[in-house]
Amino acid sequence: MNLRQTNEQVKGIIFGFSAYALWGILPLYWKLLQSVSSTEILAHRVVWAFIFLLVILALTGKLSSFFKELQALLNQPPKLIGILMATILLNLNWFTYIWAVNHNHIVQSSLGYYINPLMSVLLGIFFLDERLSLWQVAAFILAALGVLSLTIQYGSFPWIAFFLAVTFAIYGLFKKVINIGSINGLTLETLLSFFGALPYLIYLCNTGNSAFQFNLSATTWLLIGAGAVTATPLLLFAAGTRRLPLFAIGFLQYVSPTTSLILGVLVFHEPFTAGHLLSFMVIWTSLIIFSLSRTSLFIKLEAKIALKRSVHLNQ
């Protein structure tokens, strides 16, 4: 590997780690808006993220390409419907996450983003004809055992975690099938959401129920900042994925739920027993196996196991 490739990978790690670290500490931001309803926070997040992304596109000279892509999509109804479905899923995911954080379910929400990559692979099997390796099957079984253990300890199924994992995994599936640029795609999604979010915010202002005040209070600035808080890690993530192999991204993505988990337990004192720790360790183990499943070491081990099985069957 030459010096230029090494520098690019180092930059990729910095960008990727920064993105996931920002996502991990996002509960701290939403907690500052705990007095505001989750629906209003989501609406402001959409409106200000759209404005923020338009500014970024303008500054980077990509605004014209965005409008060209938008115009092309208007002539492709199936693709436009796909983006609309992805937008609905993204908003459901964002709303659930904000609600979970502000109702003291940070630990369970972090579990959702641990399960998410496994859900994504499952969808790939059913809808994209992808196949699981032996190690990925083992990872699924371990993850299922961990979730089952947590379910027993919670006394009920962890619906928040499951819903977050499923909505984001299906969102990722739509994005893969649609195949549109990350920044343009997110701008389109926030544009579609904008048409619903802005009238709702105007309604809140007209009825005197809005937390947004034009005297620029701290809450107002936090609501405006929701746009940058939403878009910045996505932009860093896009920069990181362009420079890193998939397995590296696979490892980095666990920075986010791990950070959130630590915040939930140590900062916000959510319940976390020894049983919870054991269950999470099982899930972490499954994710390590899953992340390493496509490395040369695990592929060689799988080949040796397959060879031994073949020899045994032929004897």
pLDDT in tens, 258-280: 889 889 999 999 888 888 888 88
Can you tell me the mean pLDDT for 6-24?
83
Which of the pair, 91 or 153, is modelled with greater confidence? 91
Examine the pLDDT at 313 and tell me if it is beyond 60: no
Can you tell me the mean pLDDT for 152-158?
76
Can you tell me the mean pLDDT for 113-120?
80
Q: Residue 181's pLDDT is what?
A: 66
Residue in the block written with tokens 């196991």:
305
Mean residue pLDDT across the chain: 83
Examine the pLDDT at 83 and tell me if it is beyond 80: yes
Alpha-carbon distance of 233 to 18, in angstroms, equals 7
Alpha-carbon distance of 152 to 150, in angstroms, equals 5
Q: Residue 167's pLDDT is what?
A: 92
Alpha-carbon distance of 163 to 92, in angstroms, equals 9
Alpha-carbon distance of 135 to 143, in angstroms, equals 12
Which of the pair, 64 or 177, is modelled with greater confidence? 64
- Name the band, by pLDDT with cuts 50, 70 and 90, for residue 234: confident
At residue 89's C-alpha, the angle toward residues 87 and 93, to 5°, is 115
pLDDT in tens, 188-215: 889 999 999 999 999 999 998 888 887 7
Which of the pair, 101 or 7, is modelled with greater confidence? 101
Alpha-carbon distance of 171 to 86, in angstroms, equals 5
Examine the pLDDT at 239 and tell me if it is beyond 70: yes
Q: Sign of dihedral through CA atoms 242, 246, 247, 252? A: positive
Q: Which of 41-45, 129-133, 174-178, 293-297: highest mean pLDDT?
A: 41-45
Q: Residue 113's pLDDT is what?
A: 85
What string of H, E and C letters represents the secondary structure of the chain? CCHHHHHHHHHHHHHHHHHHHHHHCHHHHHHCCCCCCHHHHHHHHHHHHHHHHHHHHHHCCCHHHHHHHHHHHHCCHHHHHHHHHHHHHHHHHHHHHHHHHHCCCHHHHHHHHHHHHHHHHHHHHHHHCCCCCHHHHHHHHHHHHHHHHHHHHHCCCCHHHHHHHHHHHHHHHHHHHHCCCHHHHHHHHHHHHHHHHHHHHHHHHHCCCCCCCCCCCHHHHHHHHHHHHHHHHHHHHHHHHCCCCHHHHHHHCCHHHHHHHHHHHHHCCCCCCHHHHHHHHHHHHHHHHHHHCCCHHHHHHHHHHHHHHHHHHHC
pTM for the whole structure: 0.83
Q: Residue 271's pLDDT is what?
A: 86
pLDDT in tens, 159-191: 999 999 999 888 888 877 776 766 788 888 899
pLDDT in tens, 94-109: 999 999 999 999 989 9
Can you tell me the mean pLDDT for 61-72?
86
